[in-house]
Structure formats: structure tokens, C-alpha cells
Structure 1
Amino acid sequence: MSYFKNNNNSIFFSFIFALNLALVTSSSLTPKLALFTPGYLMHIADALPNGAPPLKLRCQDKNHALGDQTLNVSEEYKFKFKGQFFGGTLYFCHFYWNGKDKVFDVFNDNISSGCGSLGAFLSECYWKVQEDGFYFGGRQDAQFEKRYSW
């Protein structure tokens, strides 16, 4: 009798495993998995000198363009997103200012490790755009590091 009891447990756990695997790999159910992925709040601040022309930018991931943005000095653009369940989340922005332009990843798996924690499943990332380039910090009060020049 114990053979059947153990065998039934194995079948039950195999069924649960197969069901979980189906949920994870099903593209139609992927949004439901977002409950278990970290959230991020991205900040992009115009820290250009007073009187500078407006900063223009366009950010997107592989599926969604977030639209054109125009920032004046001391203004900030913010957007929220969820990381992908198995990693690989990527957002990039194209910046335009004073006849210059620059494109780079504002978020990827490497950058995410430098973002500041706001809780168990929420982090924030800061970019400051200055006259000499682009600076990254994990929080607004963090020490910012220059990552890119114009």
C-alpha cells in the first residue's frame, strides 16, 4: 500500500511541476508573472546649465516606445516598468541637446545592480544629463558616476 501512496505523491508533484512550467513558458500568461518580478522607477533629470536649450529624448524597450519627451532645466522624466521574469529587461534612450545626440541603454541587467532599493520588489535608477555627459546613480542622493560623454 505504501508503494501506491508514494507513487501518487510523485505523480501529484510531477503534475504541479509541469503546470508551473507551462505557466512560465506560456506567452499569453506572461503578464501574470509580473507579480513575481521586480519593479523599477526610472528617473532622467535635466541637470543642464540654466538657460540651456531644452533636452529632448525618446525612450523605449523592444516592444514599447514611450514617446518623445522635452525637458527644461531641473525637470525630470519618470517611468515605471517591471523586469522580465528571467532577466533580459532592456530600455534605451536617444537624447538630443544643443546639436548633439547620444543613444545608450538606460537599463539592462548590468545597470539594474546599481539601482537603489525602495523595498523588496521595487528599485529606482537615476540618470542626470549634464553639459559634459550622462551620470548614473542608484538614488537621488547617491554619488553619481559619469558613464557617457556627449
Structure 2
Amino acid sequence: MAISFIKIFLLLLIIFPLDLSFARFCLTTDLQVHIINKLPDQSLLPLQIHCESRDDDLGNHNLAINEDYNWQFCEAFYENTLYFCRFRWGIKYKRIDVFNDAYTCLDGLTVPNLLNYCKWEVRSDGFYLEQYDSTTGTYFMTLIYKWR
């Protein structure tokens, strides 16, 4: 009897192809990534960035001091969204993940992201992510990656 159910199921799959478009709804509300150039004011070198995911290439951008480059997206139910960026500042170069987890912005971090955005600041010593201190109820910037 179990074999006949399998045959019927396979026949239905052939007749009615599986449509997963219903699973393309948002798992969360719209998410945002913000990258802010916080390099020294006297720096004459532009901050060049190129961000992308598997589906979206956001292109090359030059950020002025204090400029905020940002985008928003919806994380689909069946996907694990990953956005990464390549940064160039003079002779310094770094490729980092800027989003891969809706709960903490980056997988492996323990501080939850209570907002719907991941805010990064690029500084002369590295890349800082905004996080929340539940004890004091304040937000602070944490060095996540160094330029090296």
C-alpha cells in the first residue's frame, strides 16, 4: 500500500510541478545594511566599496567622509542571505561579510540586533558593527574586523 502512495505522489509531481514561489515571502521585516565612512577627515584617499550577494551585485561606490551607503532587502523563508563587501582604502584591502544572520547581523555573534538594520562604520583601524548592551540599554560600536 505504501508503494502505491509513492507512485501517486510521484505522478502528481510530474503532472503538477512543485512551485516553491509561495516560500518567497519575507522571514523578517525588511532588513537594511548601512556602511558609514568614518575614516579620518584629513584622508585624501577615497573609500571604495563593492557589495554583493548571490543574487544582487550592488556595484562599485566611493564613499565620502561620513557618507552612509545603505540598501534594504527581504530575507526569504528558505534562504540564508549573505551580503559581503570588498573595501579598498589606499593600499589597504579587505573583504568581509556584512550580513549573514537576521538575529545578530553576523553568524557567531551573541548580541542580538534589536533593530532591523546592521550598521557598520569603517575606521582607520578596521570595521565596527553597532551592537546593543541590554544592561545599560545603549548601543555601542564593536571592532569586528581589522584591516590587517
**Within 1, Cα distance between the matches of 2:100 and 2:139?**
19
- 1:32-86 per-residue CA deviation (whole Å, 9 max, x = no partner) reads x13x533111110000001211100000110110011110111110100111213
Q: Compute the displacement of 1:128 (Å).
A: 0.2
Contact 1:116/1:125, CA 8 A, preserved across alignment: no
In the alignment, what sits opposite 2:73? 81
Shift >6 Å, 4+ stretches? none
Contact 2:23 2:78 in 1 (8 A): no
Unaligned runs of 5+ in 1: 1-21, 118-122
Alignment map for 1:1-150 (pairs within 5 Å): 26-31=19-24, 33-34=25-26, 36-52=27-43, 53-109=45-101, 110-111=104-105, 114-117=112-115, 123-138=116-131, 142-150=139-147
* Secondary structure of 1:51 counterpart: coil
TM (normalized to structure 1)? 0.70
Q: Per-residue CA shift, 1:10-40, capped at 9, x if unaligned?
A: xxxxxxxxxxxx9xx7344454x13x53311
Identical counterparts, % of pairs: 33
Q: Is the 8 A contact 2:34 2:117 kept in 1?
A: yes
Given residue 51 of structure 1, which amino acid in structure 2 is its aligned partner? Q
Q: Tell me which amino acid in the other structure corresponds to 1:128.
A: E
Question: Letter of the aligned partner of 1:37 in structure 2?
Answer: T
Which runs of no fewer than 5 residues in structure 2 stay unpaired? 1-15, 133-137
How far apart, in 2, do the equivalents of 1:59 and 1:93 lie?
Answer: 4
* Larger helix share, 1 or 2: 1
User: What is the alpha-carbon root mean square deviation over aligned residues?
Assistant: 2.3
The AA in structure 1 aligned to 2:74 is K
Query: C-alpha separation between the residues in 1 aligned to 2:94 and 2:87?
Result: 5
1:100 offset after TM fit, Å? Answer: 0.9
